[in-house]
């Protein structure tokens, strides 16, 4: 009970007492003065006793009302639960019971809402896709970590303009159009904040108390777009690589059919060219088959393989070609170390590295091979040459299919353009890495790192 109400009640009681005394004094005027004084004294005493009882009762009621007030003001807090009912049967007791029930139900509802909100927040924040929500004024109301990282935005985003978070006019126009029309929309755009990425945004209207907002989901399609481009490049490269030997085979075949079969001086040369182009087609087909098997996971069998043994076999295989080209094969530190994988595939990878080191070397050049164990218990295989080297701008792309640094020389020495791609696939299948360092005119060094295993 408020103090102002209490003051009004006291004032009313005093006024009633004064009126009562005046009325009694007037009514008892004809009575004996001694009796009149006694009656007035008794009346005053009764009024004072009633006032004391009223004060005690009002204080009790005041305490209960204040407790109810605190409970009503903080229905969702722990203080909302009323204490022990002093008089469960009266009206205030009934009100206390009602507040207790309402408070319990509200706490349950709020607890569920908080749980659902936290769960929804965790889901949206943990999504790999970016999520953005804006209000009718195109102010950001929500933005998850995936999108913040992609845009490079730092700080509080609530209430910030859309263009300050995602600086792309096309996206701004999409969201503005969706808000105006109420129809979903889609857009593919590029962000160049931290790392250039490509996104596909799907925006849909979002009903809000203040009007129509928009929520947008951002799918990162950078890798998908890159793979699509790789597929297109692969088809184009395969077509080009097959067209060249096929054109040679068809051309020289037509030449022979048109009368060159009787040309004893040139017909053998024509047949040799046809055979060389057929061999090239067979090499391309074989390498493509190897790549297909590696990517499909057809080779799942593993064994413990001696790296030194595989390299020795590879060196013996290319020894003849190295001798013909005047290239020396130098075995440096060749430790007897073992890895887990396919011996056939590992030999194919090393043969490609050794063959390239010989083909693209200079006369009287060298190819050095080393096998060691590095500090993190991995086998380090080095294949270094003193050849023509690779320009720095080409280094990031040499493991791509059909990529050639010097296309004319690659075809001249018989390369398919798939060897280094096979090397990378084989090494990665064995949980390893392959790196390259090169200087133009000084040579190239390939280093392969593979997890070591114990000798069987």
| pLDDT at residue 382 tops 90 | yes
Q: CATH number for the domain including 169?
A: 3.30.450.20
Domain co-membership, 309 together with 454: yes
Q: Is residue 430 part of a domain?
A: yes
Q: Examine the fold and report which residue of 220, 248, 268 is the final residue of a domain before the chain moves on.
A: 220
Domain co-membership, 145 together with 199: yes
pLDDT of residue 329: 92
Q: Which residues of 382-405 are buried (b: 16+ CB within 10 A; e: fewer)?
A: bbbbbbbbbeeeeeeebbbbbbbb
Q: Is residue 108 part of a domain?
A: no
**Quick one: pLDDT band at residue 71, thresholds 50, 70, 90?**
low
Structure-block tokens of residue 185: 């929309």
Q: Is residue 109 part of a domain?
A: no
What is the rounded (10 degree) CA torsion for 159, 164, 166, 172? 80
Domain co-membership, 90 together with 19: yes
Q: How many Cα atoms sit within 13 Å of 234 on the Cβ side?
A: 14
Domain co-membership, 325 together with 418: yes
pLDDT of residue 167: 82
Question: CA 422 from chain center: how many Å?
Answer: 29
Domain co-membership, 386 together with 357: yes
Domain co-membership, 193 together with 53: no
CA dist 262 → 200, 250, 252, 255 (Å):
64, 18, 14, 11
Domain co-membership, 293 together with 304: no
Q: Examine the fold and report which residue of 203, 220, 237 is the final residue of a domain before the chain moves on.
A: 220
Domain co-membership, 216 together with 188: yes
The domain of 166 spans 127-220
Domain co-membership, 401 together with 349: yes
Q: Examine the fold and report which residue of 165, 197, 220 is the final residue of a domain before the chain moves on.
A: 220
Q: Are 76 and 53 in contact (CB under 8 A)?
A: no
pLDDT of residue 1: 45
Q: Residue 199: helix, strand or coil by DSSP?
A: strand
| pLDDT at residue 80 tops 50 | no
| pLDDT at residue 85 tops 50 | no
Domain co-membership, 205 together with 230: no
More confident residue, 52 or 325: 325
The domain total for the chain is: 4
Q: Which residues of 340-373 are buried (b: 16+ CB within 10 A; e: fewer)?
A: ebbbebbbbbbbbbbbbbbbbbeeebbbbbbbee
pLDDT of residue 199: 87
| pLDDT at residue 238 tops 50 | yes
Q: CATH number for the domain including 318?
A: 3.30.565.10
Domain co-membership, 94 together with 136: no
Domain co-membership, 17 together with 56: yes
Q: What are phi and psi of 203, to 5 degrees?
A: -110, 135
With CA atoms as reference, report the closest residue to 24 among 10, 5, 39. Answer: 39
With CA atoms as reference, report the closest residue to 445 among 454, 437, 435, 455. Answer: 437
Q: Residue 250: helix, strand or coil by DSSP?
A: helix
Please name the residue ranges forming H helices in 265-306: 267-296
């Amino acid at each position: 009970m408020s103090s102002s109400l209490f003051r009004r009640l006291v004032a009313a009681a005093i006024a009633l007492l004064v009126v009562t005394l005046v009325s009694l004094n007037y009514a008892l005027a004809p009575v004996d003065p001694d009796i009149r004084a006694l009656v007035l004294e008794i009346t005053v005493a009764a009024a004072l006793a009633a006032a004391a009882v009223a004060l005690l009762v009002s204080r009790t009621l005041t305490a209960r009302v204040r407790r109810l007030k605190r409970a009503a003001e903080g229905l969702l807090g722990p203080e909302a639960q009323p204490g022990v009912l002093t008089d469960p049967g009266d009206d205030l007791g009934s009100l206390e019971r009602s507040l207790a029930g309402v408070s319990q139900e509200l706490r349950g509802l709020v607890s569920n809402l908080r749980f659902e909100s936290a769960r929804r927040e965790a889901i949206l924040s943990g999504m790999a896709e970016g999520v953005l929500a804006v209000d009718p004024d195109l102010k950001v109301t929500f933005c998850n970590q995936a999108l913040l990282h992609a845009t490079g935005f730092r700080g509080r985003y609530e209430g910030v303009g859309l263009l300050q978070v995602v600086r792309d006019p096309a996206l701004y126009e999409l969201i503005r159009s969706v808000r105006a029309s109420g129809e979903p929309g889609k857009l593919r755009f590029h962000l160049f904040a931290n790392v250039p990425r490509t996104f596909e945004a799907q925006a849909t209207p979002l009903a809000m108390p203040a009007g129509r907002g928009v929520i947008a989901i951002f799918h990162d399609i950078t890798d998908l777009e890159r793979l699509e481009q790789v597929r297109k490049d692969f088809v184009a490269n395969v077509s080009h690589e097959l067209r060249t030997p096929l054109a040679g085979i068809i051309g020289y075949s037509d030449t022979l059919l048109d009368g060159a079969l009787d040309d004893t001086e040139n017909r053998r040369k024509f047949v040799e060219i046809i055979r060389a182009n057929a061999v090239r087609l067979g090499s391309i087909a074989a390498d493509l088959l190897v790549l297909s098997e590696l990517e499909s996971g057809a080779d799942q069998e593993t064994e413990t393989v001696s790296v030194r043994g595989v390299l020795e076999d590879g060196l013996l295989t290319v020894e003849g070609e190295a001798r013909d080209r005047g290239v020396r094969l130098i075995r440096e530190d060749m430790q007897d170390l073992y890895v887990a994988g396919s011996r056939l595939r590992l030999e194919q990878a090393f043969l490609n590295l050794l063959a390239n080191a010989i083909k693209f070397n200079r006369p009287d050049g060298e190819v050095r091979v080393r096998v060691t164990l590095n500090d993190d218990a991995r086998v380090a295989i080095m294949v270094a040459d003193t050849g023509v080297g690779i320009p720095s701008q080409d280094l990031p792309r040499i493991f791509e299919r059909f990529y050639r640094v010097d296309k004319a020389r690659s075809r001249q020495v018989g390369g398919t353009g798939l060897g280094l791609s096979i090397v990378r696939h084989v090494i990665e299948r064995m949980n390893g890495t392959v790196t390259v360092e090169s200087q133009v005119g000084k040579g190239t060094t390939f280093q392969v790192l593979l997890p070591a295993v114990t000798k069987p």
